[in-house]
Amino acid sequence: MDIQPSPYSKEKLENLVQLCLSEAKQLGASSAEASINVEHGLSVTARMGEAETLEHHNDRGLGVTVYVGQKKGSASTTNFKPTSIKEAVTAACNIASFTEKDSCAGLADADRMATKVEDLDLDHPWGLSPEEALEIAIECENTARDADKISNSEGASFNTSRSTTIYANTHNFLGSYTSTRHSLTCIVVAEQDGSMQRDYWYSTARDPKNLESAISVGTKAAERTVSRLGARKLSTQTTPVIFEANMARSLLSHFISAISGGALYRKASFLIDHLDKKVFSDQITISEDPFIKGGLGSSSFDAEGVATQARTLVDAGILKGYVLSSYSARRLGMQSTGNAGGIHNLALQKGEDNLEELMQKMQKGLLVTELIGHGVNTVTGDYSRGAVGYWIENGEIQYPVDEITIAGNLKEMYQKIIAVGNDIDQRSNIVTPSLLIDDLMVAGN
């Protein structure tokens, strides 16, 4: 299967965004920006050894924002005919004529534009036929279903996609890149003595060579599911907690929300005015590197064309930078950090211990392997989420636990991180190892 985002070549897409900008200028806009994203791919799901769904997706969209002085208007279209694009630009200009002036509105500063767009090795198309994709999903699910005590399946899903992104503005900036993403997920159900548990595993990568095999994903999904059988509740207590690597990621995403410009200028963050102050324990250093070859968050420029930069956000617990777009930066009297559209390959510096050694260090406490619900308030930092995991004593797993809630305040939780693992989970734009937090409230019976 060809997953080239045809029928639109990169050159044709670049011409379309340039059409947007010239049309905006003709209609009296003082400045304008336009972006296009075209994605093409294949998704399949197998369940109980047979094909369940097969879907080709071909998505596209164009967005344009115009500025008439300090008035802003935006519009979008999925129709790439020149007449439709001109209609979208006209709509954006009409909207701008009715909006209030905003002294912080406008394109990112011209001197912040990226001058070089590097090849970051993001494009690795996988020319699979639907039949070959289904074979991968079926092999993955069959591997999991063949495991002892696996009684049912929610299926295995395989996805491959390729997208092209173009951004241009009237600072004469035009940047583009093509990227791929492939993923494989398996969810199964285990049963024993009348009780049932479900769990999953997944793999995702830019390059098919870096994707875990179908057998590996299916095996891990089954092992994780079976290991949860016989889960118990805990009595309510205060105890040390290890967040497994893929769960520790969520702690960093809450942190990024709290230091993002939108939350800061709205005074809706528990980390207002914390620049150059201690926000984590000494153990924690967090960096951003947009230039990792093949990284899931790699990019030479952000959603406004601003050059991205490698930097340290947290140095030995001290907050060294915020996450700002040009608009939020102006609201705060600062400069854009190249983060319009989000962060680029955030990584928490790994420690010395693997997960087993972290458990030995903890001796007694809770290992969290799944979080449930969204009970996080980034205005106050209050944290309360359902959790699933394992009870640890003498540094070893004793039994699985479920139907518990972990609670605390992120401001205190970050300061209470006493150990960092070396078991890095690479399956995201936010890369983390496991984290050991000293003393959290665990609510159960």
Q: In whole angstroms, what is the distance from residue 145 CA to residue 188 CA? A: 7
Q: In whole angstroms, what is the distance from residue 122 CA to residue 205 CA? A: 10
Q: How far is CA 122 from CA 201, 427, 443, in A?
A: 24, 15, 44
Give the per-residue pLDDT at 7. 61
Q: In whole angstroms, what is the distance from residue 6 CA to residue 38 CA? A: 9
371 half-sphere exposure, CB direction, 13 A CA radius: 21
Which residue in 304, 292, 297 sits closest to 335, CA to CA?
Answer: 304
Structural domains in the chain, sorted by start = 10-226 (3.30.2290.10), 231-445 (no CATH)
- Show the CA angle centred on residue 301, arms to residues 297 and 302, nearest 5°: 70
Which residue in 50, 41, 3, 40 sits closest to 156, CA to CA?
Answer: 50
pTM of the predicted model over 0.75: yes
Full pLDDT tens readout for the chain, 445 residues: 444 445 688 999 999 999 999 999 999 999 999 999 999 999 999 999 999 999 999 999 999 999 999 999 999 999 999 999 999 999 999 999 999 999 999 999 999 999 999 999 999 999 999 999 999 999 999 999 999 999 999 999 999 999 999 999 999 999 999 999 999 999 999 999 989 999 999 999 999 999 999 999 999 999 999 999 999 999 999 999 999 999 999 999 999 999 999 999 999 999 999 999 999 999 999 999 999 999 999 999 999 999 999 999 999 999 999 999 999 999 999 999 999 999 999 999 999 999 999 999 999 999 999 999 989 999 999 999 999 999 999 999 999 999 999 999 999 999 999 999 999 999 999 999 999 999 999 999 8
pLDDT tens track for 28-51: 999 999 999 999 999 999 999 999
pLDDT tens track for 218-262: 999 999 999 999 999 999 999 999 999 999 999 999 999 999 999
